[in-house]
C-alpha cells in the first residue's frame, strides 16, 4: 500500500501542476549537481542517434548503479507549502516563438522530485542541452526572498508538452513526463486520468517493487511535423534502457514506443508497457461507500483483444485484499484499461469529470509471443489512491546480463467500441447478495448481473435460441437467467453462485447462439470475504 500511496501522491501532484501551472522548484547556489557516469558534458554539442544512446546504456549496465545524491541546502529544505508558491512562466515556454506545433515547459526539481532530469534538443545528428534557471519561474509571497536570482538549475523534475489539441487558438497540454518513469497523455477533449510507465519491475512480488527513472530526455522536432520524437535514458539498480517515443496528437493521441533494455540483476517479474489507474466503486460495489456519486473511477475495465478477434472484458474491482490475475495470451492484438461509460449522469462529479478520463490501449508491434497480461488490484478507500496496475509479462524470465527490446503503440483517448462490430459489449456489471432479491442475504452467496449491449445480439428478438456459456472455478452455480430487456438492445444475464469462506472465485461468461459467439467474454474475480 505504501507503493500505491506514493504513486497516487506523485500523480496527484502532476495533475495539480497541470491545472495550476505550479511547475517549478527553486534551487540555491549550494545545491549539488548529479555527476554520474551516464551524464554527458553539458557544455558540448554531442553526436546523437538512438543507436548511440542504446550503446551508451548497454555499457552503463555493466557498471554498478550510481544513485543521484541527496539534494542539499535550499533545494533539500523546501516543503510542500513552498512548492505551491512556484509557477512556471508561460512566456518562457521553449519554442513558443518558433514555427512549431509544440511548446515545452518544465517541472522543477525539489520536494518529491529530488533527482535531476536533463533535457536536450536534437538537431540533425547532434544534441545540445537545454538550460533552465530561476528566471524561468515565478516565486510567490515570501518565497521570492529566499530564491537566488539568475541561478542556473542542474536539472528539472520533468516536463510537459503543449499543442493546439482542441482549438487552433489555444495551447492545450498534450503530455507530461514527471517522476520515476511515469507519464500521461491526452486525446482530444480528454482530462488527465490514468498513467503509463516506462517499465514495471517486481510489482506486488516477494522481491519488492523497483522504480527505475528516466534520467535524460532528448527532443527532436521536424519542422512543422505534427509528430514529435522523444528519446529517454532509463536508469535503476536492476536495469538501464534507451527509449524512443513518437508522439502524434489527435482525437486519439498515439505514442509509438521502442524500448531497449539491459539488465544488471535478475528480475522476479518484468512488466512491459505498464498502466496505472484508479477504481474506487461502481454499481457492483457502491453499497460499501456512502457517496452521492454513482461511480468513482478513472478506468472501469481491462480489455484484451486476441489475434482471432475474440474480446475479453474484465470489470475492475476494489477487492478486500491485494489480488493479482494473470491472463495467458499469445501475441495479443491489444490490451488496455478503458473508461467505457461516458455519461455525466453516471458520475455526477462536476469537478473530477470522470466521464472525460481517457482510455489507454497497448498495441504490440511485432510478435510478443507467449506471456500474460497481469492485472493487480489493491484495496483502497480513497479515490486519491491509484490501486490498479496492468502490464505484459513475457514468458521467459529476465536474468542479469540479458537484453530485451519491445515496440508498441499507446493509444490515448475515448477509444469507443465499434458500433458495427459483431460482438455485443459488456455494458454494465452489477452485484448483490445471492438468492432472492429483497430478502435476507445468504452467507456465501453472490449474485452478478451482466448486461450485454449491441452487436448482432441486439438484433435478435426476445426468445431467440441463444444461451449463456458460464465457467466457475472455486464456486458453485446456483442459478442463472438470460433475457432481453424490453424496448432496448440489451440482454441481461443473471448468475447466482456460492463459495466457501475466503475462497477466490474466478467467473467467466458469454452468450452464444447460431453456432457462433455473440458477445465479449466477461471475466470476474470474487473473494468470498466475511
What average pLDDT score do residues 24-45 get?
A: 39
Range in 78-82, 194-198, 376-380, 399-403 with the lowest mean pLDDT = 78-82
pLDDT band at 153 (very low <50, low <70, confident <90, very high): confident
pLDDT band at 154 (very low <50, low <70, confident <90, very high): confident
Residue 317 pLDDT greater than 70, yes or no: yes
What average pLDDT score do residues 48-56 get?
A: 98
Residue 106 pLDDT greater than 60, yes or no: yes
What pLDDT shows up at residue 109?
84
Residues 87, 21 contacting (CB under 8 angstroms): yes
> β-pairing, 103-108 with 156-167?
antiparallel
DSSP annotation of 454 reads S
Residue % of the chain over a pLDDT of 70: 91
Helix (H) or strand (E) holding 13: helix 2-20
What pLDDT shows up at residue 42?
52
Q: Pick from 454, 451, 469, 450: which is nearest to 423 by CA? A: 454
What would the grid cell of residue 406 be? 519491445
What pLDDT shows up at residue 420?
93
Residues 253, 247 contacting (CB under 8 angstroms): yes
Range in 140-149, 379-388, 406-415 with the lowest mean pLDDT = 140-149
Alpha-carbon Rg for the chain, nearest whole angstrom, is: 25
What average pLDDT score do residues 11-18 get?
A: 46
What average pLDDT score do residues 205-214 get?
A: 94
> β-pairing, 521-527 with 311-315?
parallel
Specify the domain boundaries for CATH 2.70.98.10 within the chain.
Answer: 2-34+46-276+392-413
pLDDT averaged over every residue in the chain: 90
d(CA 314, CA 301): 5
What would the grid cell of residue 514 be? 447460431
> Does the domain spanning 2-34+46-276+392-413 belong to CATH 2.70.98.10?
yes
What pLDDT shows up at residue 100?
92
Residue 38 pLDDT greater than 50, yes or no: no
pLDDT band at 1 (very low <50, low <70, confident <90, very high): very low
**53 against 97, higher pLDDT:** 53
pLDDT band at 73 (very low <50, low <70, confident <90, very high): low
What pLDDT shows up at residue 19?
36
Residue 242 pLDDT greater than 60, yes or no: yes
Specify the domain boundaries for CATH 2.60.40.10 within the chain.
Answer: 425-527
pLDDT band at 44 (very low <50, low <70, confident <90, very high): low
CATH classification (class only), 425-527: mainly beta
pLDDT band at 2 (very low <50, low <70, confident <90, very high): very low
**234 against 78, higher pLDDT:** 234
Residue 3 pLDDT greater than 70, yes or no: no
What pLDDT shows up at residue 17?
46
Residue 307 pLDDT greater than 90, yes or no: yes
What pLDDT shows up at residue 70?
77
Residue 15 pLDDT greater than 80, yes or no: no
What pLDDT shows up at residue 82?
84
How many Cβ atoms sit within 10 Å of the Cβ of residue 296?
21
What pLDDT shows up at residue 26?
24
What would the grid cell of residue 360 be? 489507454
**106 against 151, higher pLDDT:** 106
pLDDT band at 152 (very low <50, low <70, confident <90, very high): confident
Amino acid at each position: 500500500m505504501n507503493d500505491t500511496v506514493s504513486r497516487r501522491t506523485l500523480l496527484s501532484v502532476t495533475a495539480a501542476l497541470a491545472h495550476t501551472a505550479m511547475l517549478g522548484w527553486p534551487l540555491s547556489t549550494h545545491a549539488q549537481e548529479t555527476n554520474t557516469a551516464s551524464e554527458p558534458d553539458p557544455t558540448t554539442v554531442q553526436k546523437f542517434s538512438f543507436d548511440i544512446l542504446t550503446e551508451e546504456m548497454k555499457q552503463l549496465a555493466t557498471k554498478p548503479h550510481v544513485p543521484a545524491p541527496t539534494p542539499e541546502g535550499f533545494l533539500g529544505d523546501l516543503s510542500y507549502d513552498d512548492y505551491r508558491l512556484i509557477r512556471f512562466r508561460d512566456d518562457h515556454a521553449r519554442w513558443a516563438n518558433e514555427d512549431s506545433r509544440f511548446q515545452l515547459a518544465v517541472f522543477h526539481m525539489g520536494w518529491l522530485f529530488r533527482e535531476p532530469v536533463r533535457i536536450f534538443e536534437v538537431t540533425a545528428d547532434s544534441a545540445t542541452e537545454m538550460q533552465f534557471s530561476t528566471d524561468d519561474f515565478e516565486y510567490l509571497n515570501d518565497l521570492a526572498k529566499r530564491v537566488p536570482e539568475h541561478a542556473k538549475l542542474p536539472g528539472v523534475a520533468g516536463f510537459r508538452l503543449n499543442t493546439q489539441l482542441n482549438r487552433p487558438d489555444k495551447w492545450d497540454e498534450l503530455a507530461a513526463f514527471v517522476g520515476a518513469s511515469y507519464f500521461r497523455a491526452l486525446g482530444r477533449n480528454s482530462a488527465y486520468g490514468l498513467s503509463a510507465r516506462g517499465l514495471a519491475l517486481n510489482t506486488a512480488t516477494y522481491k519488492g517493487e523497483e522504480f527505475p527513472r528516466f534520467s535524460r530526455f532528448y527532443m527532436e522536432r521536424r519542422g512543422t511535423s505534427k509528430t514529435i520524437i522523444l528519446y529517454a535514458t532509463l536508469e535503476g539498480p536492476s536495469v538501464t534502457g534507451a527509449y524512443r517515443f513518437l508522439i502524434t496528437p489527435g482525437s486519439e493521441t498515439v505514442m509509438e514506443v521502442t524500448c531497449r533494455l539491459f539488465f544488471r540483476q535478475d528480475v522476479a517479474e518484468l512488466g512491459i508497457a505498464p498502466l496505472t489507474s484508479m477504481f474506487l466503486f461502481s454499481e457492483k460495489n457502491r453499497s460499501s461507500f456512502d457517496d452521492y456519486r454513482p461511480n468513482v473511477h478513472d478506468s472501469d475495465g481491462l480489455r484484451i483483444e486476441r489475434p482471432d478477434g475474440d474480446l475479453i472484458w474484465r470489470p475492475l474491482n476494489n477487492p478486500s485484499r491485494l489480488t493479482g490475475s494473470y491472463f495467458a495470451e499469445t501475441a495479443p492484438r491489444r490490451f488496455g484499461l478503458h473508461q467505457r461509460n461516458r455519461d455525466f449522469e453516471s458520475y455526477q462529479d462536476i469537478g473530477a469529470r470522470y466521464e472525460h478520463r481517457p482510455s489507454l490501449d497497448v498495441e504490440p508491434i511485432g510478435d510478443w509471443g507467449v506471456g500474460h497480461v497481469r492485472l493487480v488490484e489493491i484495496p483502497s478507500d480513497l479515490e486519491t489512491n491509484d490501486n490498479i496496475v496492468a502490464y505484459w509479462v513475457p514468458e521467459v524470465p529476465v536474468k542479469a546480463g540479458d537484453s530485451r527490446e519491445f515496440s508498441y503503440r499507446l493509444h490515448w483517448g475515448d477509444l469507443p467500441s465499434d458500433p458495427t462490430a459483431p460482438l455485443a459489449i459488456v455494458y454494465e456489471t452489477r452485484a448483490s447478495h445471492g438468492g432472492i432479491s429483497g430478502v435476507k442475504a445468504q452467507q456465501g452467496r453472490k449474485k452478478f448481473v451482466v448486461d450485454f449491449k449491441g452487436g448482432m445480439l441486439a438484433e435478435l428478438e426476445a426468445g431467440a435460441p441463444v444461451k449463456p456459456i458460464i465457467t466457475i472455478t472455486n464456486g458453485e452455480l446456483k442459478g442463472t437467467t438470460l433475457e432481453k430487456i424490453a424496448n432496448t438492445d440489451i440482454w441481461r444475464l443473471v448468475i447466482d453462485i456460492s463459495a466457501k469462506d475466503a475462497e477466490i472465485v474466478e467467473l467467466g461468461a458469454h452468450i452464444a447462439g447460431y453456432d457462433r459467439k455473440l458477445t465479449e467474454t466477461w471475466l470476474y474475480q470474487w473473494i468470498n470475504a466475511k
